[in-house]
Structure 1
Amino acid sequence: MSEILLIIPAYNEAQNIANVIDEIKQDLSYVDILVVNDCSTDDTLQTLMLIKDIVVVSLPVNLGYSGALQTGFKYAVEKDYEIVIQFDGDGQHIASEAEKLLNILKEQDVDIVIGSRFKTKNKYNHSFFRKIGTHFFSGIIKQICKVNITDPTSGFQVLKKSVFEKYAQMNNYPEYPDANLLIEMLLEKYSIAECQVEMRNREFGTSMHSGFIKPIKYMIKMFYAIIFILISKQRTISNY
């Protein structure tokens, strides 16, 4: 068994998941792969059953992205892994780029490394509302925590054991584990680094942030989640 577990939450990714796993096996052959099938209604589970040398956990009900991810963290704790790689099942994340994150985790001895799309200028295509959200929440993190996080919505992350153990035990693990969770971790003195990575645009399927209404709902929920954290951590902020 590897000391590194790569977790893929998957919901209706039948058109993408096989290619994603093939690339991981080719470029990250030394990691173990866990796919959490979030009660998909397409052929995701059937596709996964045909793939060798992976572990599949199939949820009986749809828990959403965060619920599937936390299921992966619980598995990582139970199996005593040292490092977790968060990885999307839609083909946007590039397996070979995870090497950069792992190197920074070890060389800089930080707790969390985020794969950023925006640390340097590039041609990555981001929707209008996602751009607004990224800049807005990045600014909030800088104002509160005095740390510059250029891509607080990136799900491409590498986590130390102390981090995913905490996530696995959280009773209120957030629906959207983005800027709100990063703020909470920074206030609790966990260290975070970023690394510029390449990402692809989704080829098949629909993003959970697609359309007009979903990004607006996301921003409202994220804003209130941050307010709640600031209230609960008021004493910590005053000493930060």
Structure 2
Amino acid sequence: MNSNVLVIIPAYNEEDSISQTINRLVNTSTFDYIVINDGSLDNTKEILTSNQFHHLNLPVNMGIGGAMQTGYKYALEKGYAYAIQLDADGQHDPEDLTNLYEEIQFNDFDMVIGSRFVEKTGYRGSHFRRFGIYYFYMMLRLLSGIKITDPTSGYRIVNRNVIKEFSHSYPIDYPEVEVLVQLAQKKYKIKEIKVEMKARQGGKSSITPLKSAYYMAKVTFFSLIRSVF
């Protein structure tokens, strides 16, 4: 362990972008990293192995939640003080890692989220995606009283207390919004800072309009349940 920060990179069928993502991370950061290969069916595993990238292989596809919880369990076991989620598709800019780390290290926060909307950035998403983000922003305000402009952003850093929480309990799929409800109920302190998001560097997003509708319904249902119980 060379750092007290672990960058967790969940990867499912990311053969087109995984090498570029890791190389850019290594060239711009001194943080440790681990790729969680989530049962990829393409050449992701072979690329990770042949390049001797740090990684763990899940035997089957567990979804983003299962992959991230594996990473949090690894971070807890290895004694890391902080863990950061970094997408394998290149959308998250590693140059923002230091800003996320400094914000949580020097201020009293449990989670810091990299946001596309807390300040003006170059991000341009589809109308449907922006509607979904605004929908969850309003849902969080109503259910938890917190104002998170970019609740679906996976670019986030957490401290060791939250690492422990997520190691024990983490939603299986589409976890980003649901865990914010969970943390807000337990009075964890959350902040957003500006980051730049890039276009996917390769591969294909698994989120279709139908899956997005399912995502919104599922997250709303479970968030309502959490807010009541």
TM-score norm. by structure 2 comes to 0.95
Does residue 104 in structure 1 map to residue 119 in structure 2? no
Give the gaps of 5 or more residues in structure 2.
Answer: none
**Cα distance in structure 2, aligned partners of 1:42 and 1:88:** 17
- SS in structure 2 at match of 1:9: strand
How far off is 1:203 after superposition?
A: 2.8
**Cα distance in structure 1, aligned partners of 2:204 and 2:126:** 14
The one-letter code of the counterpart of 1:4 is V
Q: Deviations over 1:124-178 (max 9, x none)?
A: 12122221111111112223333211000000001101001110011x5342112
The one-letter code of the counterpart of 1:110 is F
The one-letter code of the counterpart of 2:120 is K
Does residue 10 in structure 1 map to residue 4 in structure 2? no
**Cα distance in structure 2, aligned partners of 1:212 and 1:56:** 31
Q: Deviations over 1:12-45 (max 9, x none)?
A: 00110000000100111x2111000011000000
CA contact (8 A) 1:138 1:179 kept: no
Which residue number in structure 1 is paired with residue 85 of structure 2? Answer: 86
Which residue number in structure 2 is paired with residue 45 of structure 1? Answer: 45
Which residue number in structure 1 is paired with residue 171 of structure 2? Answer: 173
Q: Deviations over 1:42-76 (max 9, x none)?
A: 00000011223x42110111101110010001111
The one-letter code of the counterpart of 2:65 is S
CA contact (8 A) 2:66 2:173 kept: yes
Does residue 212 in structure 1 map to residue 209 in structure 2? yes
- State the structure with bigger RCO (CA 8 A, min sep 6), 1 or 2: 2
The one-letter code of the counterpart of 2:127 is F
- SS in structure 1 at match of 2:114: strand
Which residue number in structure 2 is paired with residue 238 of structure 1? Answer: none
**Cα distance in structure 1, aligned partners of 2:46 and 2:156:** 27
**Cα distance in structure 2, aligned partners of 1:203 and 1:27:** 17
CA contact (8 A) 1:7 1:87 kept: yes
CA contact (8 A) 2:144 2:227 kept: no
CA contact (8 A) 2:10 2:64 kept: yes
The one-letter code of the counterpart of 2:37 is N
**Cα distance in structure 2, aligned partners of 1:226 and 1:37:** 28
The one-letter code of the counterpart of 2:56 is V
CA contact (8 A) 1:13 1:205 kept: yes
- SS in structure 1 at match of 2:33: strand
Give the gaps of 5 or more residues in structure 1.
Answer: 233-240
Does residue 70 in structure 1 map to residue 69 in structure 2? yes
Which residue number in structure 1 is paired with residue 20 of structure 2? Answer: 19
The one-letter code of the counterpart of 1:215 is S
Q: Aligned match of 1:226 in 220, 223, 227?
A: 223
Which residue number in structure 2 is paired with residue 136 of structure 1? Answer: 135
CA contact (8 A) 2:9 2:85 kept: yes
Q: Aligned match of 1:190 in 179, 188, 191?
A: 188
The one-letter code of the counterpart of 1:26 is N
Does residue 36 in structure 1 map to residue 36 in structure 2? yes
**Cα distance in structure 1, aligned partners of 2:22 and 2:100:** 19
The one-letter code of the counterpart of 2:227 is L
How far off is 1:121 after superposition?
A: 2.5
- SS in structure 2 at match of 1:57: strand
Q: Aligned match of 2:200 in 199, 202, 219?
A: 202
TM-score norm. by structure 1 comes to 0.91
Aligned-pair identity in percent equals 37
Name whichever of 136-145 and 196-205 sits farther off: 136-145
- SS in structure 2 at match of 1:216: helix
**Cα distance in structure 2, aligned partners of 1:218 and 1:206:** 18
CA contact (8 A) 1:7 1:84 kept: yes
